[in-house]
Structure 1
Amino acid sequence: MTAMFEPWTLTTEQREIVKLCRDFAEKEIRPRGREVDEADVVTPVDIFQKAAKVGITDYMIPEEFGGGGFTDVFTQCLVQEELCWGDPGIGNLVCSNGFFSDPLLALGTEEQKDKWLRPLTGTSPVMTALATTEPGSGSDAASIITYATKVDGGYRINGQKAWISNAGAADQYVVFAKTDRNERSKGVTAFLVKKDAPGLTWGEPMKKMGQRAIVCRELFFDNVFVPEEDRLGDEGQGFYGLMKTFDISRTVLGAAAVGSARAAYEFALDYARTRTQFGKPIIEHQAVAFRLADMANRIESARLLVLHAARSIDAGYESTGVAAMAKLTASEMAMFVTHAAIQTLGGWGYSREFPVEQWMRDVKLEEIEEGTSDIMRVVISRNL
């Protein structure tokens, strides 16, 4: 599969960041994928730190706050594809601070951005988390029941979150809670919370099917005080910020799925060229060749849709529908491609001797996180 940027006109800086990430994925991420997958549930902080030293963890943060300045979604997609070609879980971990940054950039004051984004930059950045999902509410973010009560000088947050990536390891959190429990989306407000806030605790690592490089835990809020200055945006504005974040994150996760699928396709293609059955390489068998053709076709189609969605967001268009299309198409494509890679390898594909079975487990998450495939179809239908 050709590198993803050849059909596109890129700046010198974009080419450099893509090459940096491609090299990092090949040398640092891919060799660690299986080890991290089979380890006890532990965040591979050493890889995150290595990525920070070469400027990958903060590339998406504006220069005025110490970051790399690649704030456009198009570049973020190019980067995410390369990193997740190395390994889906590690690739998403390396860029996870971008998910924290998006609502802050959408809703934050200049003072908040300076205070909360600068710790994410440089060679020793903190890790962050976005706390939305709850035990009883996944894709329906308007139905959260964690609540924030107004008190003198700020708010008290009570409730519980679930499946929070980097929880416990993260030093900074964007937390979504209801300031008006009689409202749905209009009652949601965002808050900035530090790890050491009294009353904030977390559970044991949750056992996951894939992407084990990103450790998920429950978060518990017991009268956690948040100063008024750390409310993100106005009361009731949190859902708007979350939806704008979803447009970006769904598109970027689509790029992650493309990179993961590309890895599986390339592995299957190399195997088909060297494996012999019935006296000839299996790629010369029509069924295998057609399967590989389907894989390549779907990858390129999904990539084009993801980059189209990215360009739409960067141009300022209403992009909720096309972002949902990009995530739906790319995530379901990645499941097809990783499954097809296993079929191409036969019994070896089912074995842990090769990475394709892990990649299939990893990419399943892309059909679930930031809105399931069912929810994406609902979002698309509402934006026709």
Structure 2
Amino acid sequence: MNALTEPWPLTDEQRAVVQLCRDFARNEIRPRGRAVDEADVETPLDVWRKAAEVGITDFMLPGELGGGAFTDVFTQCLVQEELCFGDPGIGNLVCSNGFFADPVLALGTEEQQRRWLCPLVGPDAPMTALATTEPGAGSDAAAITTSARRTKGGYVLNGQKAWISNAGAARFYVVFAKTEPGERAKGVTAFLVSADAEGLSVGKPMRKMGQRAIVCREVFFSDVFVAEEDRLGAEGAGFVGLMRTFDISRVVLGAAAVGAARAAFEYARDYACVRVQFGKPVIEHQAVAFRLADMANRIEAARLLVLRAARAIDAGADVTGLAAMAKLTASETAMFCTWAGVQTLGGWGYSREYPMEQWMRDAKLEEIEEGTSDIMRLVISRHLP
């Protein structure tokens, strides 16, 4: 499969950033993948810094804020696929500031955008986090219980978040809380919070099956004061902003899943070409050849769906159903392809000496984060063409 295949024409600038990320994935990300997985709960700051130095951590930020100006979701998907081809966890990590930036760009004032996004530009870019999920509220974001009580000059936050990516390492958080505790979606409001805010604390690293480059922790808010000017948008507008963020993040994570699937396919294909069983290369056995054909077919279909959804977002269309389709298809493609890769390698696929078993564990997260596959099917059923 030629990774340079262009289902839509690319500009010279897009080709350049794709090539940059392809080289970075092969030279910096792939060689670190196994060690980061073995480390379990350590953020690979060395890779983060290298990514910041070449502009990968801020490529998605607007040019007027100092970023790389690739604000369109289509280009973000091209980049995400290449980086996650190197390693899904590290690839998602080095682009994670985009998930923080989306609600700030969607809901924030110009002053808020300058104050909170300009520091994310350059070789010393800090990490950020999006704090939505709670112990009792995962895919059902309207069910969050973290409260934001009005007080003089702002709000007081109390509550607990769970599975927050980059928590502990992040300098800034976008926090979703309820300004109207009795309401569901209408009560959700977004806030910008610094990690050093009094009353904010984090738990110990949560041990995960895969994508260990992204360390997750619980985040606790105990009477955390947030000034009025650090509220994002109007009271109750947070849920709409969050749903827009989900539309974008689901498509971008779909691209990440395509990258993981492509890595599994290429590794399995290359192995099958050189491994000899029963007197001939494994790829000449019909069962293996057909399995590789299924992998290639699903990857191409998933990529096209992801890029179609990205184009629709960039055109301003309502894409909630299409975004769910893209994420569902791509994430299940990644799970199938990593499983098929393990099958193709046989015992070596099951061995930790080879990357396939790690990629299979990494791929599972794509079927869970930003809405499980079951939730995606529910969303699709509610937005049928």
TM tier, smaller: over 0.9
How far apart, CA to CA, are the structure 1 residues paired with 2:265 and 2:323? 24
TM-superposition CA deviations, 1:90-129 (whole Å, max 9, x none): 0000000000000000000000000000011011111100
SS in 2 for 1:317: coil
TM-superposition CA deviations, 1:245-264 (whole Å, max 9, x none): 00000000000000000000
How far apart, CA to CA, are the structure 2 residues paired with 1:17 and 1:92? 16
Bigger mean CA offset, 326-335 vs 37-46: 37-46
Q: Which residue of 2 aligns with 1:21?
A: 21
1:40/1:299 CA distance change after superposition, 3 Å: closer
Q: Which residue of 2 aligns with 1:76?
A: 76
Aligned-residue Cα RMSD (Å) equals: 0.6
What is the aligned-residue identity percentage? 76
Q: Which residue of 1 aligns with 2:190?
A: 190
Q: Report matched runs for 1:50-199 at 5 Å.
A: 50-199=50-199
Q: Which residue of 1 aligns with 2:279?
A: 279
SS in 1 for 2:173: strand
How far apart, CA to CA, are the structure 1 residues paired with 2:250 and 2:7? 23
Structure 2: stretches of 5+ with no match in the other structure: none
How far apart, CA to CA, are the structure 2 residues paired with 1:4 and 1:128? 31
1:40 Cα deviation (Å)?
4.1
One-letter code aligned to 2:250: R
How far apart, CA to CA, are the structure 1 residues paired with 2:315 and 2:7? 19
SS in 2 for 1:158: strand
How far apart, CA to CA, are the structure 1 residues paired with 2:247 and 2:350? 35
Q: Which residue of 2 aligns with 1:365?
A: 365
Q: Which residue of 1 aligns with 2:332?
A: 332
Structure 1: stretches of 5+ with no match in the other structure: none
1:41 Cα deviation (Å)?
1.0
How far apart, CA to CA, are the structure 1 residues paired with 2:271 and 2:291? 13
Q: Which residue of 1 aligns with 2:309?
A: 309
TM-score normalised per structure 2? 0.99
TM-score normalised per structure 1? 0.99
SS in 1 for 2:170: coil
One-letter code aligned to 1:198: E
SS in 1 for 2:206: coil
Q: Which residue of 2 aligns with 1:298?
A: 298
Q: Does the alignment pair 1:232 with 2:232?
A: yes
Q: Report matched runs for 1:240-279 at 5 Å.
A: 240-279=240-279
How far apart, CA to CA, are the structure 2 residues paired with 1:58 and 1:318? 26
1:157–1:222 CA contact under 8 A, matched in 2: yes
SS in 1 for 2:217: strand
2:40–2:207 CA contact under 8 A, matched in 1: no
TM-superposition CA deviations, 1:275-333 (whole Å, max 9, x none): 00110001001010000000000000000000000000000100000000000000001
1:8 Cα deviation (Å)?
2.4
How far apart, CA to CA, are the structure 2 residues paired with 1:82 and 1:4? 10
How far apart, CA to CA, are the structure 1 residues paired with 2:178 and 2:169? 25
One-letter code aligned to 1:137: A
Q: Which residue of 1 aligns with 2:2?
A: 2
How far apart, CA to CA, are the structure 2 residues paired with 1:3 and 1:285? 25
How far apart, CA to CA, are the structure 2 residues paired with 1:314 and 1:365? 26
TM-superposition CA deviations, 1:114-151 (whole Å, max 9, x none): 00000110111111000000000100000000000000
How far apart, CA to CA, are the structure 2 residues paired with 1:6 and 1:112? 37
SS in 2 for 1:246: helix
How far apart, CA to CA, are the structure 2 residues paired with 1:63 and 1:45? 25
How far apart, CA to CA, are the structure 2 residues paired with 1:44 and 1:169? 11
1:170 Cα deviation (Å)?
0.1
1:6 Cα deviation (Å)?
2.9
One-letter code aligned to 1:347: G
How far apart, CA to CA, are the structure 2 residues paired with 1:333 and 1:18? 22
TM-superposition CA deviations, 1:339-383 (whole Å, max 9, x none): 000000000000011100000000100000000000001111111
1:163–1:206 CA contact under 8 A, matched in 2: yes
One-letter code aligned to 2:308: H
Bigger mean CA offset, 40-49 vs 370-379: 40-49
How far apart, CA to CA, are the structure 1 residues paired with 2:172 and 2:269? 42
SS in 2 for 1:70: coil
One-letter code aligned to 1:332: E
One-letter code aligned to 1:213: A
1:4 Cα deviation (Å)?
4.5
1:4/1:146 CA distance change after superposition, 3 Å: farther
The 4+ residue runs of structure 1 with deviation greater than 2 A are 4-8
Q: Which residue of 2 aligns with 1:35?
A: 35
How far apart, CA to CA, are the structure 1 residues paired with 2:137 and 2:16? 41
1:46 Cα deviation (Å)?
1.1
1:42 Cα deviation (Å)?
0.8
One-letter code aligned to 2:252: V
